[in-house]
Amino acid sequence: MTVRRTPKRATLLALVLTGAATVASAQTVPAGRLLASNCFQCHGTNGRGPGFDQIAGESAAEMFEKLKEFQSGKEGDGIMAKHARGFTDAQIRQLAEWLSKQR
């Protein structure tokens, strides 16, 4: 007969608390920050260059409109159009809001 060992309560509690802490820390990431990580190669970390246009601190409304123009093809079919087409309107809003608050 095989004796099956069950985890002790302290071990189970530690596992539950570790999982809860992971979920809590994931919820504290600002909206748009992860989306903006896609921009760093050309626009620099947090949109502050070096590279192409520095987009940190720009107007969220203007950034949103510009990205929508890229999405629609009004601004050509370059790399920005391809990136913009990968986002929903809600994601573009989050991205623009977050970048507008960077200094």
44 Ramachandran zone, left/alpha/beta (phi>0; psi -120 to 50) = left
Would the pTM count as exceeding 0.75? no
Q: Tens digits of per-residue pLDDT, 35-90?
A: 998 888 899 888 888 778 889 999 999 999 999 999 999 988 899 999 999 999 99
Distance separating alpha carbons of residues 87 and 36, to the nearest angstrom: 11
Which pLDDT value is given to residue 7? 59
Distance separating alpha carbons of residues 59 and 9, to the nearest angstrom: 52
Looking at the domain 31-100, which fold is it? Cytochrome Bc1 Complex; Chain D, domain 2 (1.10.760)
Q: Residue 31's closest CA among 6, 60, 71?
A: 60
Residue with tokens 């989306």: 35
Which pLDDT value is given to residue 15? 53
